[in-house]
Chains A and B, each alone.
Chain A
Amino acid sequence: MSNVATSDTPRKQRSWYKRNEVAITPWLFLAPAIFFFAVYVIWPIYQSITISFYDWDGLGEATYIGTDNYTELMDDDAFKVSLWNNLKWLLFYLLAIPGGLFIAIFLNQSVRGIRIYKSLFFFPFVVSQVVVGLVFSWFYLPDAGLLNSIIGMVGLGPINVLGDPTWATYGIIAAGLWPQTAYCMILYLTGLNAVDPEQIEAARLDGAKGLRMLWYIIIPQLKPATFIAFVVTIVGALRSFDLISIMTNGGPFGQTRVLSFYMFEKALSEYGFRMGYGAAIAVVLFLIMLVFIAYFLWSMWTEEKGR
């Protein structure tokens, strides 16, 4: 009697699991990741979008105001300046990629002592962004800075890079390019190690050298490195914040703000009491990022499929 019961039930359970094992197991492994992704990524995104429809000072009652925050953004000069500056960052930050490639090729030689040079070029990437910002603000100082001493020797200047609303943003981007170029250089140095020597040999026999060798043989093989360099550079440009905060604090008169900095000012800074408005800015920034995220996912997917 008892024998029948024990032999019956386990078989039933096992068969259910057996039947679904292949489908279930990957989800079991994925579950923790999905859970944390939902709680720490999806949920906050949903929350920011919700808050952006409210007028809320972060403390008291939140009032639903529909799309008023977005309507106000359309008419906000500071927002336009921030958006425009973000575009400048996106565009000029990409210079880090050819810069990094150039330095990597330059350093990819077997000369005595080249490792010292490599580590020196590696240095700016190790240094904190805050320190980079400080060093560059001294470099740009209108009276005592090194930059004005240098251009003074050829009879130019003095220019006040960080105090002049037309130059300040470019000055900060240039400072940001320093560590970013070093980062791209590292990526390309790794990529260059993986370049197939036989292909180079074959190309050389076919008479390729110099720029043609670089363009047709080397760069195509560096495609994975270029892709990663592109991703980190775009992300770095969009989340630029530390350098701006250190070098100009968004000034002079708010002309070096970018979206992330403006969002911080409106929602979280000393005088910020507008969570809803800050959230609306965050949503706009998120939409811009979404374009790139979609592109990255799509290109990774096609890459996988091609294999």
Chain B
Amino acid sequence: MFQRTKTLVAVLAATTMLSGAAFADGHAKLSGDLKIFLDTSNPAPRATMEKMIADFGAANPDLNIETTVIDREAYKTQIRNFLTADAPDVATWYAANRMTPYVSAGLFEDISDLWAEPEIAENLASTKGAMTIDGKQWGVPYTYYQWGIYYRKDIYDELGLSEPTNFDEMKSNCQVILDSGRKCYTIGSKFLWTAGGWFDYLNMRTHGFDFHMEMARGEIEWTDDRVRETFANWRELIDMGGYIDNHQNYSWQEALPFMVNGEAASYLMGNFAVAPLREAGLSDDQLDFYQFPSINPNVELAEDAPTDTFHIPANAKNKDNARAFLRFVVSADVQTEINNGANLGQLPVNAKASVDDDKFLKEGFAMLSSNSPGGVAQFFDRDYSAEMAAEAMQGLQEFMVIPDNLDEILARLEKVRVRINK
């Protein structure tokens, strides 16, 4: 009985404070429990998150916070269990279609109320779409990062090349690089998703963002001529030998040395590739970035920028504390802090936060905020339904190794699309 009164008081206290103006400064005193599950298992993100949670705990000394960090890959299979069985109060996940299964199974809390608060509505407007399913919001983003082509500036300088702005330049650059005895692009397709990045860009540049999203929703046949056009463009790069050999053997990390050793000149990747490239010894004079060049001048440029997110499970026990934590995470100061180069090294989601003084982050931020008029996609395996993504990425890898199999691959994918949308 006493226990129950205590929690009741705690909940009351929390709600009254939250409804008041007090929450805005982020120092409302919370009490009770808060259980957080994180998938940020790599050393740097892990330290960042633990530091952020410690700060939150310091501001709320009466709050009993329990943090569990789960290996990123294991997390993807465990989330199904812990959301149903023993739900934490806050859990990390990914935006867009990747959250659909949990939203439609009623395992994520609808937090549209948070998004209605002016503080969040105004400053996080750009990511609202990625968090919305059925007109409601199901989580908040905490970081995102650009995709694009990272390249060896010193090799480009040596060969007298400049950043390509259209597909013809991209191909002629590639030919020069090939003639110098190097490969144009490194890639490791063992875990398939890297091939999805190439398809995203080639498809968005050939037919635009809207077409790509219609495909993602399963509204376009894989055997459609327009899809074939995308593959035909891709095939030009494959046939000229632009990609490193045997990429099906490597993970994305194992493909990095080709670029570090100068055997390949560039890498289509997310910004997370910068840190290991720097650690491998490439200086900022040697390493540079450009936006994937235009292919069809009639379509607007669109970008991949995957967003990582926090959610409140529907079975959470301390939802008010969880909401307070989400407000804290997206606030401008925290966003500036956790996304800086020393921590996550990515882009903040809050418009009032400042981007770290890092060459790639600044370039990426400028690209996403001013040179991505077509739209911002999440990434192949987050935009497409999970099952379609799994089949399709396998087909994309096969196409990159044996391009002649294209007809079989497309027929197979079409069969899967029809079954999924049945």
Binding site for B on A (CB under 8 A): 57-60, 72, 77, 137, 141-143, 160, 162-163, 248-249, 251-254, 265, 268-274
Task: Scan B101-113; emit 1 where CB is below 8 A from any A CB, else 0.
Answer: 1101101000000
Q: How far is the CA of A268 from the CA of B381 in the complex (A)?
A: 16
**Would you call B397 and A271 a contact (CB within 8 A)?**
no
Q: Which of chain B's residues have a CB closer than 8 A to the CB of A265?
A: 390
Interface membership of B136, Cβ < 8 A: no
The range of chain B's interface size is: 20 to 34
Q: Which of chain A's residues have a CB closer than 8 A to the CB of B83?
A: 59
Task: Scan B234-264; emit 1 where CB is below 8 A from any A CB, else 0.
Answer: 0000000000011011000000000000000
Q: Which of chain A's residues have a CB closer than 8 A to the CB of B80?
A: 58-59
Interface membership of B386, Cβ < 8 A: yes
Interface membership of B3, Cβ < 8 A: no
Closest chain B CB from A66 CB (angstroms): 15
**Would you call A271 and B248 a contact (CB within 8 A)?**
no
**Would you call B246 and A142 a contact (CB within 8 A)?**
yes
Interface membership of B190, Cβ < 8 A: yes
Most buried by B among A59, A160, A248: A59
Listed from nearest, the 7 A-B pairs whose CB atoms lie closest are A271-B390, A59-B105, A253-B398, A271-B386, A252-B248, A270-B76, A60-B105
Task: Scan B390-418; emit 1 where CB is below 8 A from any A CB, else 0.
Answer: 10001101100100000000001000000
Closest chain A CB from B330 CB (angstroms): 27
Interface membership of B272, Cβ < 8 A: no
Q: How far is the CA of A270 from the CA of B107 in the complex (A)?
A: 17
**Would you call A57 and B248 a contact (CB within 8 A)?**
no
**Would you call A252 and B397 a contact (CB within 8 A)?**
yes
**Would you call A251 and B390 a contact (CB within 8 A)?**
no
Q: Which of chain B's residues have a CB closer than 8 A to the CB of A270?
A: 73, 76-77, 386, 390
A59: contacting residue among B76, B101, B381, B395, CB under 8 A? B101
**Would you call A160 and B77 a contact (CB within 8 A)?**
no
**Would you call A248 and B412 a contact (CB within 8 A)?**
no
Closest chain B CB from A140 CB (angstroms): 8
13 new A-B contacts, CB < 8 A, other than A58-B80, A274-B387, are A59-B102, A60-B104, A160-B246, A160-B249, A162-B249, A163-B246, A163-B249, A251-B397, A254-B394, A270-B386, A271-B381, A271-B387, A272-B390
Q: How far is the CA of A141 from the CA of B247 in the complex (A)?
A: 11
Q: How far is the CA of A271 from the CA of B102 in the complex (A)?
A: 13
